[in-house]
Amino acid sequence: MRYICRMQLPSKLIEDAVDQMASLPGIGKRTALRLVLSLLKKDSKDVRRFAESFIKLKEDICECSICHNLSDSPTCSICSNPSRDESLVCVVEDIRDIMAIEATHQFRGRYHVLGGIISPIDGIGPADLHITSLIDRLKSGEIKEILLALSTTMEGETTAFYLYRKIADFDLKVTSIARGIGHGDELQYADELTLGKSIVNRVPYENSLNRS
Amino acid sequence: MRYICRMQLPSKLIEDAVDQMASLPGIGKRTALRLVLSLLKKDSKDVRRFAESFIKLKEDICECSICHNLSDSPTCSICSNPSRDESLVCVVEDIRDIMAIEATHQFRGRYHVLGGIISPIDGIGPADLHITSLIDRLKSGEIKEILLALSTTMEGETTAFYLYRKIADFDLKVTSIARGIGHGDELQYADELTLGKSIVNRVPYENSLNRS
């Protein structure tokens, strides 16, 4: 694969398209070229539809004014749904987390998207996240519980603790998603930290019976 | 990853963009979503430049009228280069093969891109490839050698043999790129067929000395 470093593309047009494709995360020049050549095999109409979907998305997408979820309208479909519980708000890093949680059909509250996670290495501090708007939502007094659903990484834990301290003055319950051995996981392959903590924080057996 | 099958996207616009991205080969819905979200983080101007590079490519790219290489102009930079040897033509499957060969700086002839390979399983027969135009080039009488540089797969060998029979009536030398153990490969990991053939088709030791 060594030749890729000095890959000479036969045309400036291909070079531009490959550079653009390779600007996406995780797409190298070689993959970009494969994708661009496959695009060239499509009809002009399909290529136009492909390209225009991104322009349209960028132009017309909104951020929900309440929770920062992405949406076609100023308020997202979850925040504008009256059957969702206003008093319970789940804090997530990213809209992909909302999709993952929605797919479980186990959560009937609302969300708050931070838009990232505290990560000094990447230069992301609390001011870069949607924390002020979360505090503003709390000030309305309607929220009774905040569920912190952040990754169990160092950055996730740091962000959760920062939020926990930040919202300590409000009269509300702060919960975290349960940590432990995943359903379908084998004990012998679990990491020590997770297994150790899941023993220390053991739960009544009855709890696992009424899980769906 | 199970939730992806019933992934509910928060917006029709995102759904369209993800579907378009996932129409590229090897890009699943999950990767497509990651790429689309990363596009959303770019400026409007950059998204427009991203999208328009593909429309421009599709509209303005030409196929070289001689060798079927992709090009900005009706004749590609290789066919229109007078210092390239007109009498030697290398037959390849795809323009990526041209790039790989050009990167070696070892070939000074011209090319002929078949645009595919005979593959009955994919419904690709000789009529789908640029074989007629190759025969037309041979009729001019300027070509003295055809170098078959096709993959060493079943389909590649079939295509090479088909071409060999097809051009047998012309007065020219038909060659194939050398097969054998690659430079830097360890013998013990070579497959039996390649190793066996490289013993049967052994070459004078001197040949390997003047390799650059």
Output the DSSP codes for chain B. -GGGGG---S-HHHHHHHHHHTTSTT--HHHHHHHHHHHHTS-HHHHHHHHHHHHHHHHH-EE-TTT--EESSSS-TTTT-TTSEEEEEEEESSHHHHHHHHHHT---EEEEE-SS--BGGGTB-GGGSTTHHHHHHHHTS---EEEE---SSHHHHHHHHHHHHHTTTSS-EEEE---SPPTT--GGGS-HHHHHHHHHT---HHHHHS--
Judge whether B182 is closer than 8 Å to chain A, CB to CB: no
Structure tokens, A51: 């390209």
Q: Note the pLDDT of residue A111.
A: 96
Fold of B82-177: Dna Topoisomerase Vi A Subunit; Chain: A, domain 2 (3.40.1360)
Place of tokens 């419904």: B123
Q: Check CB contact under 8 Å for B10 and A39.
A: no
Q: Check CB contact under 8 Å for A36 and B13.
A: no
Among B20, B25, B53, the residue with its CB nearest the CB of A16 is: B53
Q: Check CB contact under 8 Å for B96 and A33.
A: yes
Contact B123, B67 (CB under 8 A): no
With 0.80 as the threshold, say if the pTM is over it: no
Q: Note the pLDDT of residue A7.
A: 63
Considering only residues 9 to 68 of chain B, which have any Cβ-Cβ distance to chain A shorter than 8 Å?
9-14, 16-17, 19-20, 23-27, 31, 33-40, 42, 44, 47-61
Q: How close A174 gets to chain B, by Cα (Å)?
A: 26
Structure tokens, B44: 């409007």
Its sign, for the CA torsion B119, B124, B125, B129, is: negative
Share of chain B above pLDDT 90, in %: 62
Among B31, B50, B61, the residue with its CB nearest the CB of A40 is: B61
Q: Is the pLDDT of residue A5 over 70?
A: no
Pairwise CA distance, residues A181 & B125, whole Å:
54
Q: Note the pLDDT of residue B186.
A: 85
Q: Note the pLDDT of residue A203.
A: 81
pLDDT tens figures, B130-173: 999 999 999 998 999 999 999 988 999 999 999 999 999 999 99
Q: Which CATH superfamily is domain B2-52 in?
A: RecR Domain 1 (1.10.8.420)
Measured between alpha carbons, how far is residue B121 from residues B81, B128, B129, B131 in Å? 38, 14, 15, 19
CA-based nearest residue in chain B for residue A76: B10
Domain at A2-60, CATH class = mainly alpha
Question: Could you tell me where the DSSP H helices lie in A89-147?
Answer: 95-104, 132-139
Structure tokens, B26: 């090897």
Q: What is the ipTM of this complex?
A: 0.76
Judge whether A96 is closer than 8 Å to chain B, CB to CB: yes
Average pLDDT over residues A130-156: 93
Pairwise CA distance, residues B30 & B7, whole Å:
9
Q: For the beta carbon of residue B53, count every other beta carbon within 10 angstroms.
A: 22
Considering only residues 101 to 160 of chain B, which have any Cβ-Cβ distance to chain A shorter than 8 Å?
102-104
Q: Check CB contact under 8 Å for B10 and A69.
A: yes
CATH 3.30.70.240 corresponds to the domain A70-177: no
Contact A17, A33 (CB under 8 A): no
Share of chain A above pLDDT 70, in %: 94
Average pLDDT over chain B reads 89
Pairwise CA distance, residues B200 & B82, whole Å:
40
From chain A, pick out residues whose CB is under 8 angstroms from the CB of B22.
none
Q: Where are the domains of chain B?
A: 2-52, 82-177
pLDDT tens figures, A191-210: 888 888 888 888 877 776 76
Q: Check CB contact under 8 Å for A27 and B35.
A: yes
CA-based nearest residue in chain B for residue A78: B10
Average pLDDT over residues B112-126: 93
pLDDT tens figures, B172-182: 999 998 888 88
Task: Measure the CA angle with vertex B185, ends B180 and B191; round to 5°.
Answer: 60
